[in-house]
Structure 1
Amino acid sequence: MGNKNKLNSLEDLGNFVFSTGEEPVFDDEETNSPSPGEQYLEAHFSNKGRGGKTVTVVKGFHGSETDLKELGKFLKTKCGVGGSVKNGEIIIQGNYRDRVMELLKDEGYNVKRVGG
């Protein structure tokens, strides 16, 4: 990309094809997330693949990545622990499933306890 030639017209672009069809769909960042009452989340307890460390996993969130990260930050702050948001899941360090379920219900989410 070290080419320092300036483009003076559309012909300088070469053989690009421009379409006037439907607008392209970009990442979830532009979509609105469903309201909490329309969300059906699952609260899991897991220690598999984590070196024996216990975590609470929240699955089933539909919406933008930004909203998911904000919800993850809210849960981590309220539980006073660390965690992460990966692959559409919120991972909270420790067994905080009951607390997480309570917090999500208070925010208006539909939450289901999954597993032991």
Structure 2
Amino acid sequence: MSNSRLVFSTATGRIKPEQALKPVIKTDGIVRIRRETKGRSGKGVTTIAGLAQNDIELKALCTKLKKQCGTGGAVKDGVIEIQGDNRDKIKATLEQLGHTVKLAGG
């Protein structure tokens, strides 16, 4: 038996073929930034939704935002999650990148 598997190498790291071929989610062009605590034991998380990018681009943007905020984070189902309440820093960074940004929720 062989333990080999097909893996693509990119500038942002190694990805599986099924991740590379996922379609981009169509949005209305507005990036929404929310602060959520539900289901997280009271810990606050900033979520960024509405970015029309594939998984590779989202992971690269997530890495940039994590460095900007000095916290951890992840990409889950096309939504970037950054630990803590960093809405203002994230909004400023995304606006510099040319996105239309709205702060949503409380």
Is 1:29 equivalent to 2:29 in the alignment? no
**TM-score, structure 1 as length reference:** 0.67
User: Which 4+ stretches in 1 moved above 6 angstroms?
Assistant: none
Q: Which has the larger radius of gyration?
A: 1
Q: Which amino acid aligns with 2:98?
A: G
Alpha-carbon RMSD: 2.3
Give me the whole-angstrom Cα distance separating, in 1, the residues matched to 2:105 and 2:98: 22
Percent identity, aligned pairs only? 38
Is 2:32–2:102's contact at 8 Å kept on the other side of the alignment? yes
| Structure 1 portions without partners, runs of 5+ | 2-25
| Structure 2 portions without partners, runs of 5+ | 2-16
Number of aligned positions between the proteins = 88
Write out aligned runs for 1:1-116 (5 A): 29=20, 39-116=29-106
Is 1:28–1:63's contact at 8 Å kept on the other side of the alignment? no
**TM-score, structure 2 as length reference:** 0.73
